[in-house]
Structure 1
Amino acid sequence: MFLWISEYFNCKLKILYFIPYRIIFSLLTSFFINLFIIPKLIFYFHKSKKYQIIRKNGPINHILKKNTPTMGGILIIFSILISIFLYCDLFDIDIWYIILILVGYGLIGFLDDYKKIRYKNSCGLKILWKFFLLSTIAVLIIYIINHNNYSNNIQISIPFYSIVSYKFNYLYIFLSYLVIVGTSNAVNLTDGLDGLAIMPIIFLSCALGLISFFSSNIYFCQIMNVVFLKNASELVILCSAIIGSGLGFLWFNAHPSQIFMGDVGSLPLGGSLGVIAILLHQEFLLFFLGGIFVIETISVILQVIYFKITKKRIFKMSPIHHHYEIKGVSESLIIVRFWIISLLLLFIAIVSLRVHINVS
């Protein structure tokens, strides 16, 4: 918006054309929106008695969280959107893909959280309806992205290998679908302990922001072996908005948490990071960047498959963070160690852009 105003009035706000300023302002704006408004949101939820619904079959110590407000993700998404509208170039079509996923998945998450609170159970939306709605929006975005690319050849960056050209077909649509819906649900599964999901989201946003910066510069593209994207610098500003919002939310979500993000936060955050990865042609790298989300998801899949086959369990409870809880590991220790793993996987992912293994 500031770009439009400065261009229309030819005023001194043209300083905001300088990318580093917009990155900093975007981060600080989303941070302070959360910092100042979340306490009011917490007060409102306590007054109206809108609390997190605790799973009956969850870890016993989670009963202590029963009076903790949820749906803090409303403010996360609101602050990101404010920063986008203030500092991003709204003529860039890529920005609108992220806005669509934030709003669309945010509404689905809101409906899911509302039903849990309204009917006082942890079921929320029926699984089939939830996946149908998530899938519909994901397929719509994939179609629009590829319709606007005007090309049948897709360039994809392969970790530890190189950039390869791939013909657009149903296999690529399926891959993109898995990236968006899979990341969205993986973040949702990980969001089970205080601050466990939001810090890896911040790390992942930092990495995608860095890759966006590399991708917008032809010189850095050759050094880091990423796909050149002329307008990728706008995605840096968007990632900084997610980082700022995440930090502002973490201020109140750190253990012991004063508020949870709920599905209204986890679904759109995961989905938006998936879309950014697709726009940067880093679909495969996302598996490293979001490694902690992958680990959590795989633990659930393995648990379900193994139980159906043997009627026994691999883990005491899935996702895997609950397994360690039941084993007696303190919540804060689990959270910090998962953060460390997430950061290490991020470093490996960044290194993989430059290090190539000869497979010939």
Structure 2
Amino acid sequence: MSFLAMLGTALCSFILTIILTPFFMNYAHKKKAGQMIREEGPKWHEKKSGTPTMGGLVFDVVIVVTAIVVPLIMQEMTPQILILDFILALYGFLGFFDDSIKLLKKQNEGLKAWQKLLGQIIGGIIFLIVYQIEGLPFSLNIFGFEMNVAWIYALFVLFWLIGFSNAVNLTDGIDGLVAGQATIAFGAYAVIAYVQNQNDVLIFCLAVIGALCGFFLFNKKPAKIFMGDMGSLALGGGLAAVSILVHHELSLLFIGLIFVFETASVILQVISFKTTGKRIFKMSPLHHHFELSGWSEWKIDTIFWLTGLIMAVLSLWVIL
């Protein structure tokens, strides 16, 4: 895939996003579709209440359209890119329902946990069916060692898609954090896909990168719009699916280290509080702990992005 083709793919999704996002923001303002802020969250977040949410709708649509039109033009359409589009769209659809319920009820609670989980499992099963039909390896690449146990790998794929979908969702708590971190992670996998000559996966990653760069212009602090669950759930599912298709699944533990830390902080906080009655962090997920420690959102973003970038570069150095 030529440099011009790669640049054109990213630019296409970037331009579409910066054109469509203001229209969606205006619509959200008219409908008063603003974010509900967690009551137990940092008090200074209350001023963000009413900021348009569900911005993920814009970049989800842009990514799917770009990742269908570009492969058709370049004659690179494959079941792999279609299943990537499907996971992004389905998990985004779950997020849409979650966000919509929150807006209708004027509270920060949407779909029940089991409803969201059921949808994620169904998406994972469909992913696995396409994966098997395409004859892709049902083996887990454990840092060079292949574990060839199909049913274990199938369970792993479900866990990976669900786990990272929720991990990115948990990370989306301050302005611009997920947009920046997801761009870094998809950028790393774009490099891997390019080296592997997986143009279909590469096109998808470039479409995501372009769309997120466009969305970041509106989502950086002070955010004019939030991506909502519709954006974060879709990005997490898409990221996990990409790591599976390039067959470097466990690399996501390092390339997506920030997402892992954010999730681990929530798990550890719950375990500690339920077993000892004490909290490890001032608040979880981890970014809230640093906020309550006096860090500005920009400082948290910068440190987290830099950490993610270093881990992504180190991971590429090891893999490639």
Fold shared, TM-score > 0.5 on shorter chain = yes
Specify the code of the residue in structure 1 equivalent to 2:4.
Answer: Y
Unaligned stretches of 5+ residues in structure 2: none
Q: Deviations over 1:168-221 (max 9, x none)?
A: 4222112212221111111100000000111111011111010001112xxxxx
- Between the aligned partners of 1:273 and 1:150, the Cα distance in structure 2 is 18
- Counterpart of 2:209? 243
- Between the aligned partners of 1:39 and 1:157, the Cα distance in structure 2 is 44
Please, which of 31, 41, 62 is the counterpart of residue 24 of structure 2? 41
Please say if 1:93 is aligned against 2:82: no
Greater helix percent: which structure?
2
Please say if 1:189 is aligned against 2:175: no
Residue 94 of structure 1 deviates from its aligned partner by: 0.4
- Counterpart of 2:96? 110
- Between the aligned partners of 1:80 and 1:131, the Cα distance in structure 2 is 24
Specify the code of the residue in structure 1 equivalent to 2:44.
Answer: N
Specify the code of the residue in structure 1 equivalent to 2:147.
Answer: Y
Specify the code of the residue in structure 2 equivalent to 1:210.
Answer: V
- Between the aligned partners of 1:137 and 1:106, the Cα distance in structure 2 is 11
- Counterpart of 1:57? 40
Residue 150 of structure 1 deviates from its aligned partner by: 6.5
Residue 133 of structure 1 deviates from its aligned partner by: 1.1
Please say if 1:207 is aligned against 2:188: yes
- Between the aligned partners of 2:76 and 2:175, the Cα distance in structure 1 is 34
Specify the code of the residue in structure 1 equivalent to 2:251.
Answer: L
- Between the aligned partners of 1:99 and 1:37, the Cα distance in structure 2 is 19
- Between the aligned partners of 2:166 and 2:136, the Cα distance in structure 1 is 30
Q: Tell me the SS of whatever aligns to 2:177.
A: coil
What pairs up with 1:169-318 in 2 under 5 angstroms? 169-216=150-197, 232-318=198-284
Work out whether residues 255 and 311 of structure 2, in 8 Å CA contact, stay in contact via their aligned partners in 1.
yes
- Between the aligned partners of 1:108 and 1:25, the Cα distance in structure 2 is 30
Work out whether residues 76 and 199 of structure 2, in 8 Å CA contact, stay in contact via their aligned partners in 1.
no
Q: Tell me the SS of whatever aligns to 1:156.
A: strand
Please, which of 154, 160, 166 is the counterpart of residue 139 of structure 2? 154
- Between the aligned partners of 1:29 and 1:239, the Cα distance in structure 2 is 13
- Counterpart of 2:55? 72
- Between the aligned partners of 1:19 and 1:104, the Cα distance in structure 2 is 31
- Between the aligned partners of 2:83 and 2:265, the Cα distance in structure 1 is 30
- Between the aligned partners of 1:254 and 1:155, the Cα distance in structure 2 is 37
- Between the aligned partners of 1:41 and 1:105, the Cα distance in structure 2 is 20
Work out whether residues 68 and 77 of structure 2, in 8 Å CA contact, stay in contact via their aligned partners in 1.
no
Work out whether residues 157 and 285 of structure 1, in 8 Å CA contact, stay in contact via their aligned partners in 2.
no
Work out whether residues 139 and 150 of structure 2, in 8 Å CA contact, stay in contact via their aligned partners in 1.
no
Residue 273 of structure 1 deviates from its aligned partner by: 1.1
Residue 134 of structure 1 deviates from its aligned partner by: 1.0
Residue 281 of structure 1 deviates from its aligned partner by: 0.6
Work out whether residues 19 and 233 of structure 1, in 8 Å CA contact, stay in contact via their aligned partners in 2.
no
- Counterpart of 2:300? 334
Please say if 1:27 is aligned against 2:10: yes
- Identity of aligned pairs, percent? 37
- Counterpart of 1:226? none
User: For the pair shown, which has the larger CA radius of gyration, 1 or 2?
Assistant: 1
Q: Deviations over 1:94-136 (max 9, x none)?
A: 0111111011111100000000000001110011111111122
- Between the aligned partners of 2:319 and 2:189, the Cα distance in structure 1 is 12
Unaligned stretches of 5+ residues in structure 1: 1-17, 217-231, 355-360
**TM-score normalised according to structure 1 size:** 0.85
Please, which of 118, 129, 132 is the counterpart of residue 132 of structure 1? 118
Work out whether residues 212 and 235 of structure 1, in 8 Å CA contact, stay in contact via their aligned partners in 2.
yes
Q: Deviations over 1:140-186 (max 9, x none)?
A: 212321242176x636261xxx3x33314222112212221111111
Work out whether residues 34 and 249 of structure 1, in 8 Å CA contact, stay in contact via their aligned partners in 2.
yes
- Between the aligned partners of 1:87 and 1:131, the Cα distance in structure 2 is 32
